[in-house]
Amino acid sequence: MRKYTNVALPEDLIGQIDAIIKKTGLGYKSRGEFVKEAVRNLLKDIKKLE
């Protein structure tokens, strides 16, 4: 079973995320889904630099 934790984000970032979710056809259904993908992509990019 996966264990989750909460992360606090500034309201301006939340607003930008919400706007992307509403306006685009990228298929994100929630903030969490968007943030998980963004973090995974950043981690992947960082690993390439190692």
Domain segments of the chain as ranges: 11-49
Q: Which two tokens stand for residue 46?
A: 């960082």
pLDDT of residue 31: 94
pLDDT in tens, the chain (50 residues): 889 999 999 999 999 999 999 887 788 999 999 999 999 999 999 999 99
- Phi, psi for 15 (deg, rounded to 5): -60, -40
Query: What DSSP string runs through 3-45?
Result: --------HHHHHHHHHHHHH--S---SHHHHHHHHHHHHHHH
pTM of the predicted structure, to 2 decimals: 0.80
Query: Cα 6–28–38 angle (5° rounding)?
Result: 55
pLDDT of residue 10: 97
pLDDT of residue 26: 85
pLDDT of residue 46: 97
